[in-house]
Homo-oligomer: A and B are copies of this chain.
């Protein structure tokens, strides 16, 4: 039963993450004036880029090639963006929210997959961060910006924090679906609070000074 509900939870987490990241990609496509097809593609790449990199590293077939759900959800995101445009604008922090939720959801589904394949904890945490943040990095590279990940904001670090919470729970009480939710909440909270209180790590000052 636990396995059953976990599978369901993982699927739901994956689809919500896809929706969130696709919308974040579409919003950038809108800013950069991509056409509808280019917008769909960048939404799709943002949504699946992290998971695809994860799957290539893990040596398994990319998840979106085994299930049309992810391509369909990206289509739904595009339609939603076209219909609810104004409402999405009114939510001032939409982009931020979607990006952060997607980061949390994909971190956890990445950890789940690496764990299932028997990788050690430190690899699972890295794979979680890769799943959560590489889609956004590829998006930023394509739109020709220095990836958000490396600029002064807590991003992949939030993902790592979520991974650590996941495994601390895991150590204490074995696997339990609630851990996934704790980990997602950790990622969202760490990123949200760090932005709210302008917390960021110090920069590596130039050697040249």
Contact = CB atoms under 8 A, between A and B. Distances in A.
B144 A39 contact: no
B34 A89 contact: no
Given A42-B150, A68-B122, A142-B141, A207 B85 contact: yes
Interface residues of A, number: 57
Interface in A17-39: 26-27, 29-39
A204 B142 contact: no
B147 A207 contact: no
Counted per complex, copies of this chain come to 3
A14 to B, nearest CB: 18
A2 interface: no
Interface stretch (A56-64, A171-179, A180-188): A56-64
Give the one of A36, A38, A82, A122 with max B CB within 10 A: A38
Nearest to A26: B204
Contacts of A39: 203-204
Interface in A183-209: 200-208
Given A35-B204, A143-B146, 17 more contacts: A30-B204, A33-B206, A34-B151, A35-B152, A36-B201, A36-B203, A36-B204, A37-B156, A38-B151, A39-B203, A57-B62, A65-B119, A71-B126, A81-B207, A82-B204, A142-B146, A144-B145
26 contacts: A30-B205, A30-B206, A31-B207, A32-B146, A33-B203, A33-B205, A34-B204, A35-B150, A35-B201, A35-B203, A37-B201, A38-B149, A38-B150, A39-B203, A39-B204, A41-B149, A41-B150, A41-B156, A57-B62, A85-B207, A88-B207, A137-B142, A142-B147, A142-B150, A143-B150, A144-B145
Interface of A: 26-27, 29-39, 41-42, 52, 56-57, 59, 61-62, 65, 68, 71, 81-82, 85, 88-89, 119, 122-123, 126, 137, 141-147, 149-152, 154, 156-157, 200-208
